[in-house]
Amino acid sequence: MGLSFHFSGYLRNAEDLPSLIEEVRDVSEVYNWKYYIYETNFPNDAFEKQESFENVYGICFTPTNCETISLAFLSNGRMVCPARIAFFAHSDDETERSYIYYVSVKTQFAGVLTHQLLIRLLKHLNDKYFKDFELSDESYYWETDDENLMKERFKLYDNLLDNFVLSMETFPMEKNEDMVAYFERLMKHIKDLKTAK
């Protein structure tokens, strides 16, 4: 739970990978973000026609109080979430396999300014390096460039989290109760409160 954005796409040109890595590394160093560099060059500076999970190319970085952002690619230039490869690369379920190709990043605790910076960085990288790039932003900043709407969405998510914490404090779990039983009891309690009005 928390405000996030999700993206997918392809690297436009195999030979651009070192430049992309360098730009992202430079930004990460300016902001003192941790980063990790995968393979830095595609063989022969070209994409392979067949998809392979053997190597991952690109970079990932972690802004303060934010989830890691992977700008990582398979041998055919398709973006991937490296952590999901281990879970879903060999799955026979098409839906599960599709998770590999989407990167999700929670920015809720990083704050508005970091979220805005990341969206602007991704817009820049999209213009310069990506193709068929799609991003869905729960703050709608990617889609609208509306700072006020972005701030309102952050506030809404903050309120939802605050209310969830408050409900856990005022309606605590019972001893030996698992989460499913707790939520069933909580939903019944809410329903009872509504019908009592």
Name every residue whose Cβ is closer than 8 Å to that of residue 76 and which is 6 or more positions away in sequence.
Answer: 47, 48, 49, 50, 51, 52
Q: Is the pLDDT of residue 15 over 60?
A: yes
What was the pLDDT predicted at 156? 72
Cα dihedral sign, 160-98-69-129: negative
Q: Where are the domains of the chain?
A: 4-146, 149-196
What was the pLDDT predicted at 151? 86
Q: How confident is the model at residue 90 (pLDDT cuts 50, 70, 90)?
A: confident
For residue 170 the two structure tokens come to: 């005022």
- pTM of the complete model: 0.78
What was the pLDDT predicted at 197? 58
Q: How confident is the model at residue 164 (pLDDT cuts 50, 70, 90)?
A: low
Q: How confident is the model at residue 11 (pLDDT cuts 50, 70, 90)?
A: very high
Q: Is the pLDDT of residue 76 over 60?
A: yes
What is the mean pLDDT of the segment spanning 140-164? 76
What is the mean pLDDT of the segment spanning 50-62? 93
Query: How far, rounded to the nearest angstrom, does the alpha carbon of residue 81 sit from its chain's CA centroid?
Result: 9
What was the pLDDT predicted at 1? 54
- Burial class from Cβ neighbours inside 10 Å (0-12, 13-18, 19+) for residue 163 reads exposed
